[in-house]
């Protein structure tokens, strides 16, 4: 059996397409795809190509450079830039036909000064998240120049992952007030907002985390959505460690019995979160093997004492159908969004796409 040294990062484009179709059926308007941060680490080019085949005609990125990178694979789609436009990226908007999401009077003035024709920005308004967006006191600035120069009004929900949270109704009411004043097509919901129902969907939803197979609703598992990322890494060595010995940097784990420890070729240099030290797990032969000791840059150590038949060269499953990104996030004390985007940035994986 050949011995490998690098992990594999497999992306199921079939599952991605399935998730997009599933979510699109739940929406009443346009279903845009959020592909910022290299499509949550999956690889923006392949993701965009896949979704264009599914009929997706609108994409959201964070920065203009991301929009420029995907334009060749979505020639006729609208590409919206959430961080807006500035002097560091202005030329990309006319060159690649990108649409800025404008969130302040200052940015609007800058955009107007560029005199780029044929592109109608989205206007972002603040409704309760207290992040980006025009305040209610700024709305008159938008009305003065006429709203025909804009394509949508956008806002972002703070607590849409909790369907019973009071903020949802509060933000919906605030958004309705602004929308009625501006009389523009509207987009309020990202993935989690889709599950709040038609009143929150408006003319366009922005599908992100759920499309990538993450669970975006607290207390509810959306069984119709499938994981899109499957990761594995090779076992480099197996050692018999006596009772009472220590494992890893800092000696944070001590064996309580004679143990069999597998060294697996993945570490925080690959995007695996160090907070999984002594908390996370991998799966070998369909059995969970706890990560013991501190995660190092290139390796983790896993306790396989109770697992039969593990050999050097076997692939330890980092993410699979059973242990998903949301499960890893729970162990790491974070969210699935961060898990995928962090692991997806790993340059040392063999990235594989499966239709």
What is the DSSP pairing of strand 152-154 with strand 186-187? parallel
Phi/psi for 347 (5° steps) reads -85, -10
Calculate the dihedral angle through the C-alpha atoms of 259, 260, 266, 272, rounding to the nearest 10 degrees. -30
Half-sphere exposure of 12 (CA within 13 A, CB side): 19
* 249 in active site: yes
* 296's tokens: 């190092």
From the list 36, 80, 202, 212, the catalytic residue is: 36
CA–CA separation, 51 and 67 (whole Å)? 15
Phi/psi for 199 (5° steps) reads -60, -25
Cα angle vertex 264, ends 258, 268, to 5°? 120
The answer to whether residues 241 and 259 touch, using CB atoms and an 8 Å cutoff, is yes
The answer to whether residues 82 and 36 touch, using CB atoms and an 8 Å cutoff, is yes
* 190's tokens: 């990202």
CA–CA separation, 98 and 96 (whole Å)? 6
The answer to whether residues 128 and 176 touch, using CB atoms and an 8 Å cutoff, is no
* Helices assigned H by DSSP within 115-234: 139-144, 166-182, 191-194
* 120 in active site: no
Residue with tokens 């692991």: 343
CA dist 64 to 73, 94, 97, 187, 197, Å? 15, 11, 10, 20, 31
From the list 53, 180, 218, 249, the catalytic residue is: 249
Which residues are designated catalytic?
Answer: 36, 249
């Amino acid at each position: 059996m050949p011995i490998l040294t690098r992990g594999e990062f497999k992306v199921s484009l079939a599952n991605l397409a399935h998730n997009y179709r599933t979510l699109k059926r739940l929406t009443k308007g346009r279903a845009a795809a959020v592909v910022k941060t290299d499509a949550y680490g999956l690889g923006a080019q392949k993701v965009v190509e896949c979704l264009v085949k599914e009929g997706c005609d609108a994409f959201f990125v964070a920065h203009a450079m991301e929009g420029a990178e995907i334009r060749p694979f979505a020639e006729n789609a609208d590409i919206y830039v959430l961080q807006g436009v500035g002097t560091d990226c202005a030329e990309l908007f006319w060159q690649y036909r990108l649409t800025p999401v404008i969130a302040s009077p200052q940015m609007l003035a800058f955009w107007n000064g560029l005199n780029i024709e044929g592109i109608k920005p989205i206007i972002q308004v603040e409704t309760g998240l207290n992040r980006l967006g025009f305040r209610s006191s700024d709305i008159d600035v938008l009305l003065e120049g006429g709203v025909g120069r804009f394509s949508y009004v956008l806002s972002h929900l703070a607590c849409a992952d909790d369907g019973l949270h009071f903020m949802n109704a509060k933000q919906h009411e605030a958004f309705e007030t602004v929308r009625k004043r501006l009389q523009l097509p509207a987009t309020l919901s990202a993935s989690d907002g889709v599950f709040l129902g038609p009143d929150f969907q408006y003319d366009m939803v922005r599908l992100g985390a759920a499309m990538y197979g993450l669970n975006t609703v607290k207390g509810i598992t959306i069984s119709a959505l499938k994981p899109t990322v499957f990761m594995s890494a090779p076992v480099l060595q197996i050692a018999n460690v006596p009772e009472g010995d220590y494992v890893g940097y800092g000696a944070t784990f001590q064996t309580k019995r004679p143990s069999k420890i597998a060294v697996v070729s993945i570490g925080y240099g690959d995007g695996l979160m160090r907070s999984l030290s002594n908390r996370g797990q991998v799966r070998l032969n369909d059995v969970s093997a706890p990560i013991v000791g501190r995660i190092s840059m290139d390796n983790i150590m896993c306790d396989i004492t109770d697992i039969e038949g593990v050999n050097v060269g076997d692939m330890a499953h980092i993410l699979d159908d059973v242990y998903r990104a949301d499960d890893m996030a729970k162990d790491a004390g974070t969210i699935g969004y961060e898990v995928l985007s962090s692991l997806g940035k790993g340059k040392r994986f063999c990235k594989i796409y499966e239709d």
